[in-house]
Amino acid sequence: MQGEGEKSPSGIDFRILDNLHTRA
C-alpha cells in the first residue's frame, strides 16, 4: 500500500504501521 499513506491524513503514522505489519 505505497502512496496511500501520502493520501491518508497521517501518512507518517500509516507508514510506520505498514512497516510493523510487514515485519509481523
> Residue 24's pLDDT is what?
60
Residue 21, φ and ψ in degrees, nearest 5: -65, -40
- List, for residues 1-24, the tens digit of each pLDDT value: 555 555 656 566 778 878 877 776
- This prediction has a pTM of 0.28
Q: What are phi and psi of 23, to 5 degrees?
A: -70, -35
Cell (9 digits) for 22: 510487514
3: left (phi over 0), alpha (psi -120 to 50) or beta: left
